Amino acid sequence: MPVRLGLVIALLVPLLGGSLGSPLTASGDELSQALARQKAIAAKIAAQKKMVAELNGLQADLRVTIASTGAKLDGINADLADVKVEVKQATARVNAVRTVYDQQVADLADLDAQLAEIQTEEVAKAAELVDRKNLLADHIRAAYDSDRTSLLETILSADSFSDALSDVGYLIDIGNQDKALAAQIVEDQQTLNALRDTVFQTRFDTAQLRAATAAQKKVLDGSLADLKKARSRLKKLELATAQQLALQQKAYRNIAVNKAAAKKILANEARENASIDRKIRQLMASQGNGGGVPSQYSGTLAWPLSGTVTQEFGCTGFPWEPPLGNCAHFHTGIDIADPLGTRIHAAGDGKVLYAGPLSDGAWVVIIAHSSDLITLYGHVKTNIPVRAGQMVKKGQLIAYVGMTGHTTGPHLHWSVKLGDRWVNPRLFL
């Protein structure tokens, strides 16, 4: 194509398109569909970004729950019932995260499929545009070649584009079909631009979403691994506890064969609990006045030893525990099983009120941490290294795990008394 003819075509296409309406406002089915699709994809991407933010929040909650579970399992004498609840909560949160993540992956796949369709349309529309431009060029070339007057000179000498179009109309026989073709070229170019914009933006956004989704998968995999470890550790602790309980239950069954003896043990336990309450009141009345016992205890208590918790505080299924309140059998402390001779430490600073045997043969250490906070360490060995009236520090050696009194195996019975009530020691840890 001659250079002058190319310039004429370049000028004529917008002129012809402009004669039917501005190219910026031209619209048609394909252009409308392209713009509508562009808008729909933008909405989907916005929804995906919102989903990523939601996933971030869910992952954060999950990490907090799993970290809490791990910390409790790492702690001394974990409360297995409490840990089981947290593991269940973590599992539910994992499922919620996985549901959102799976939806994110599915939506990304849908975006990829739509992007592939748009790219195919973009290629087809580009080829169609080239064909239509070539067709219009052929028509103009034919008119140019058959005319003796220079179209370029006519266009360049016109006062305005409208005058140029009027002048060209005398020189070239441009029919309605060619005008429609020129208008279609303008609209095709707009449609192609819309498709290209959509492809570019969608590629950019999906790349970001894909990176964010991959990062979420990495975090989720880490949470799943941590949860798996927590479940495994919980299972081991439950197994160890079950083994200790089995030993205690076996020992009780041997006693329970003689119902009269079992009934006697239960009655003795009830009397001993009442006797301990009286003894503590008497000790506080006598030794508390001797000084060294503060009116209040500031701080927390520590575990006296690390072992396997075989009985928690509260209602229990062990029939040798006496009744209390609405419970047919109530355990007033926490039982921690450990080998004979394991060192037992003071749960906090305080004054030893008593170190010796009770009426049932059990040896105990009783420490006053304040005028209304007492800890009791039961079934200890007889070689107690502290004495009544002695001040002790938190963590100081005060006794050894034994089997004195009524017990089915070596363990420490640890109780906390606040005022006139036995309370759960875990509340002070």
What CATH class does 3-242 carry? mainly alpha
Picking from 251, 241, 256, the residue whose alpha carbon sits closest to that of residue 335 is 241
Query: Pick the residue with more confidence: 183 or 274?
Result: 183
> Residue 266 has what pLDDT?
60
Task: Give Cα 86 distance to the centre of its chain.
Answer: 12
CATH of domain 261-428: 2.70.70.10
pLDDT tens by residue, 170-181: 545 555 666 777
Burial of 226 (0-12, 13-18, 19+ CB in 10 A): middle
> Is 138 within 8 Å of 1 (Cβ atoms)?
no
- For 337-371, the pLDDT digits (tens) are 888 899 999 999 999 999 999 877 889 999 999 98
Share of the chain above pLDDT 70, in %: 74
Residue extents of the structural domains in the chain: 3-242, 261-428
Q: Are 262 and 320 in contact (CB under 8 A)?
A: yes
Q: Which two tokens stand for residue 405?
A: 């009194």
Q: Decide the pairing of beta strands 421-423 and 350-357.
A: unpaired
Question: Does the pLDDT of residue 252 top 70, yes or no?
Answer: no
Could you report the per-residue pLDDT of 306-345, keeping only the tens digit for each? 888 888 888 876 666 666 767 777 888 999 988 889 999 9
DSSP secondary structure letters along 389-422: T-EE-TT-EEEEB---SS-SSSEEEEEEEETTEE
Tens-place pLDDT, residues 116-132: 888 888 888 888 888 88
What is the spatial distance between Cα 202 and Cα 300, in angstroms, rounded to a whole number? 58
Average pLDDT, the chain: 78
> pTM for the full model?
0.55
What is the phi/psi pair of residue 148, to 5°?
Answer: -90, -15
Report the distance separating Cα 135 and Cα 165, nearest Å: 20
